[in-house]
Amino acid sequence: MMKIKKDLGILICFSLIAYILTGCAGTPMQFNPNNTAPQLITDPPAIRLGIARLINDTPLVFQGRGFKPGDSVIINLVGVKKDKGPMDIPIAEAVVDGTGAFKTEEVTRLVKITELLQADTALNDQMETYIVISRPPIPAGEYTVRADSMDSDKKAECRLLIKDPSVLDSIKDWLGGLLGKIKKK
């Protein structure tokens, strides 16, 4: 009986650790098949502002449809509170294919660092890049993401939830600081 309780306790501990490390993924967004107007979705629908997680473990991609074939679109994060007031931040771009759809490349590391984390980069003596944190990231909250057509007035919007760092993110960032990958000024 003691062995069963011990084994059950170990199983519960490993399950809890696995849950904490992986977190719970949000439901992926999907296009509305009944809507012929321009549409935009984001994958994932939510991100965290933990430095290490956002830079290394969070691919952020946007997809759209209902646009003019051959068009180009700019993806903007709308109404971000910056030092000079709310502003729209361009974070990705894409070319619309022959079916009127597009999929962006992953939002770049530089955009994540400079625009979402509001940080900078620098080089150490070994010419390795590290992140310099000198001000807080953009505020957590639900943001509108908008795809703007370059050739027409077509637009599409979706929501992106930006969350504060988790406890695990804080631990990863602390380790990144110990390793010289993240420096706070």
In CATH, what number is assigned to the domain containing residue 161?
A: 2.60.40.10
For residue 91, what are the domain limits? 38-117+139-165
**What's the one-letter identity of residue 94?**
A
Q: Is residue 157 part of a domain?
A: yes
Mean pLDDT on 64-79:
95
Can you give the pLDDT at residue 13? Answer: 45
Residue owning tokens 């700019």: 74
**Is 27 within a domain?**
no
pLDDT at 146: 97
CA distances 74 to 60, 77, 99, Å, are 15, 10, 18
Number of domains in the chain: 1
pLDDT (0 to 100) of residue 1: 54
Work out the average pLDDT over 102-114: 94
pLDDT of residue 79: 93
Which has the minimum average pLDDT: 33-37, 48-52, 162-166? 33-37
Could you tell me the pLDDT band of residue 29, with boundaries at 50, 70 and 90? confident
Do the beta carbons of residue 94 and residue 70 sit within 8 Å?
no
The mean pLDDT of 129-146, rounded to a whole number, is 94
What local confidence, expressed as pLDDT, does residue 11 receive? 44
**Cis upstream peptide for 139 (omega within 30°):** no
**Confidence tier at 161 by pLDDT (50, 70, 90):** very high
Q: Which of 61, 70, 57 is nearest to 40 (CA)?
A: 61
The fraction of the chain above a pLDDT of 70, given in percent, is 85
Which of 6-20, 37-51, 170-184 has the lowest average pLDDT? 6-20
Domain membership of residue 179 (yes or no) is no
Task: For residue 127, tell me if it sits in a domain.
Answer: no
> Residue 126: inside a domain, yes or no?
no
Distance CA 15, CA 9 (A): 10
Is 75 a domain residue?
A: yes
Q: pLDDT band for 26, please (50, 70, 90 cuts).
A: low
Whether 159 maps to a domain, the answer reads yes
**What pLDDT, on the 0 to 100 scale, is given for residue 10?**
54
Q: Report pLDDT for 36.
A: 86
- The predicted-structure confidence for 109-121, as pLDDT tens digits, reads as follows 999 999 999 999 9
Quote the pLDDT of residue 81: 87
* Assigned domain for 171 exists: no
pLDDT in the model for residue 78: 96
